[in-house]
Structure 1
């Protein structure tokens, strides 16, 4: 659609068409699916024009999460995707994808000590990975404007439908803000939000969190909150959605307050959702394969599912410990 000033009369047909398209889908997903079924039920998929942040402390699995999601999109749904890896080089990213897709421990991929059946598994799965429309740019010290140019070329030239940037704190800028990193991050998120709108695709960024949560105690003390992003510019303000990753067993928390087993489980916390629901989604985390996946049905915790469905009543806002003023 051509940009500029328009009377709403001329915008209604496209909105109505999108509504009809969404209504025709039986899965309720109007955007790009993550491949995590309960997350997709909460989000309706990643929406065009939106900027989404995924935050976590070190060792929670930010990169493993986005690689698992990219695998789902590119292999399972054949959606062209692009990853800007600002932390790992091309070989490291590729090896992590092999570990994820082939379900062979990373140490074995590194030293080549594979059992005969694992070589067969590798050969079979590598074809899936080879045919996947997955594009990777691991340019170090990438400047924001160069990233935007590459992203535009990928969308127009390769048909890329979604872009992931891992992670935003490693971006650089031509203009220095008197060494004020906070202002620099503000510029990055606003530029990326504009880019998502210009290219009409979802853009996902990963972000570090500050250390405050490490000092908090109790079962819920280690759960990330929106305030844990306060040193990361205006991510919370500029993003349409903010998600956090939390693995309780990393902090030696093996049960929730209702006695449910949390070992090997990861929580995806939808803390802000401008156009939808907030709540929690449980995934299974397989650390040896650096992989997040849908939990088996017998691993689902009914009380947490109920809580999530109830949370869908909270629409278009932020999740915090403060009660809503209405």
Structure 2
């Protein structure tokens, strides 16, 4: 009977044991990891000498930076005092270590006092601390490269898993994302308070706590697209999925100066840019394709696209991109351009690196892709928006054609993995010219928030859809609803409004 194949985690545990053997062999040949113990002593001594020294380095210095275990323990004791707003000096650090039962483990009170004799002042503490960080980064690179070397020689190692893990760890180092597998509650509470304060400041500027969509009613509910969230936007063909996310990308990049990465698996980068130009300059796309523009349209084109030209929108139109390539490109863009949001058009056109394995159906592959996208959102700490198709069951439904969660095509675990699911529905497309509230539907799109992990769901967020420009925008009037006591009705003089027949005008409320 064949031996059962080890899981990836079990192999990783075995490989780590081999890494320890390789490391011990290096020590036998006289090679020790990069370190600066004397500078570690000077940094700890400086922190205990002057009360403001720690504030200069606390944002990038952490316990793992120290090479000696004793110094890690001492620095953690200092951080405990700092987090509890207690003074930091020889006596308080000694008492803190004594209360933790770790004083003798670090060398006793005598060693703590000796540390302050290693340095005269804290004048160079930032420079010294950065040296320690550099030594730590070198040790981490050695660890990663050793791990890669050992795993590469293992016949059971999946090359894509190895590449992804290696790139993720190096990316984490470059981003300073060097956290352990767990954090104490005191640290998490502090981080949460800081995040709440940052959200409060951001809301004063944009009215949202995340990346704004630029649509007022939608942002009121979602407060913007939140970091680490996976958002699924789905509809049947012809509803305007791509136009919707392009409008959002334009709003985020132009109006709120966010960096947006768009991965288009269906349309070329040039086609997407032409759509953006058509929507921004409000010139029909067929005129842009033919180049048949009047003189005033050329002037309009050049006048309106300057903002778009300076927008931080990055488009990748690699066809059939797989999850591994997507993650690699997003990490590079996060490092180089600090992207704030990722958009994928669309999910069903992606490939998973499991597609060469036997007995894997399309639903399992889509499930693998959705889980990977959620993991990528957490890894990069940005919202990831993925477009998705809906099944034909919507068309077979009698009466209203509003989508439901069960309509997600090849859904797998899409609904489970997503933090939010939105559907785009245009009744006009199905020749439904009046909704349940007897409001006209011509030129109107409904955004249905069917799942919202952070709060309420919403059945119909009404937006204007300008088909000729493939553009979504806010309705600047409430059909039949009062604004500040006054009923506001659409005007034919508004050039942004689609042509409407008289029978499509909202009825007077009196």
Aligned to 1:21: 198
**Are the aligned partners of 2:199 and 2:209 in contact in 1 as well (CA < 8 Å)?**
yes
Of the candidates 298, 301, 314, which is equivalent to residue 119 of structure 1?
Answer: 298
Aligned to 2:184: 7
Matched, 1:101 2:304: no
Aligned to 2:119: none
**Are the aligned partners of 2:439 and 2:479 in contact in 1 as well (CA < 8 Å)?**
no
**Are the aligned partners of 2:231 and 2:419 in contact in 1 as well (CA < 8 Å)?**
yes
Aligned to 1:160: 339
Displacement of 1:245: 0.2
Displacement of 1:300: 7.2
CA RMSD of aligned residues (A): 1.6
Of the candidates 63, 78, 81, which is equivalent to residue 242 of structure 2?
Answer: 63
**Are the aligned partners of 1:22 and 1:28 in contact in 2 as well (CA < 8 Å)?**
no
- Higher mean C-alpha displacement, 193-202 vs 94-103: 94-103
**Are the aligned partners of 1:33 and 1:40 in contact in 2 as well (CA < 8 Å)?**
yes
What's the TM-score, normalizing by structure 2? 0.57
Gaps of 5+ in 1: 303-326
Matched, 1:295 2:475: yes
Counterpart-to-counterpart distance in 2, 1:299 and 1:104: 27
**Are the aligned partners of 1:260 and 1:301 in contact in 2 as well (CA < 8 Å)?**
no
Aligned to 2:432: 253
Aligned to 2:79: none
Gaps of 5+ in 2: 1-176, 483-510
Displacement of 1:21: 2.9
* Larger Rg over CA atoms: 2
Matched, 1:206 2:387: yes
Aligned to 2:349: 170
- Higher mean C-alpha displacement, 158-167 vs 24-33: 24-33
Counterpart-to-counterpart distance in 2, 1:161 and 1:253: 38
Displacement of 1:141: 1.8
**Are the aligned partners of 1:256 and 1:262 in contact in 2 as well (CA < 8 Å)?**
yes
Matched, 1:130 2:309: yes
- Higher mean C-alpha displacement, 289-298 vs 25-34: 25-34
Counterpart-to-counterpart distance in 2, 1:44 and 1:109: 35
- Structure 1 residues 76 and 208: CA distance shift in structure 2, 3 A: same
Aligned to 1:182: 363
Q: Which has the higher contact order (CA 8 A, sep 6+)?
A: 1
- Structure 1 residues 3 and 108: CA distance shift in structure 2, 3 A: farther
For 1:257-272, list aligned pairs within 5 A: 257-272=436-451
Matched, 1:46 2:225: yes
Counterpart-to-counterpart distance in 2, 1:66 and 1:196: 17
Is the partner of 1:149 in helix, strand or coil?
A: helix
Aligned residues: 301
**Are the aligned partners of 1:74 and 1:81 in contact in 2 as well (CA < 8 Å)?**
yes
**Are the aligned partners of 1:85 and 1:138 in contact in 2 as well (CA < 8 Å)?**
yes
For 1:205-284, list aligned pairs within 5 A: 205-218=386-399, 221-229=400-408, 231-279=410-458, 280-284=460-464
- Higher mean C-alpha displacement, 262-271 vs 15-24: 15-24
What's the TM-score, normalizing by structure 1? 0.89
- Structure 1 residues 105 and 180: CA distance shift in structure 2, 3 A: same
Relative to its length, the structure with more strand (as a share) is 1
Displacement of 1:180: 0.8
Displacement of 1:126: 2.2
Aligned to 1:144: 323
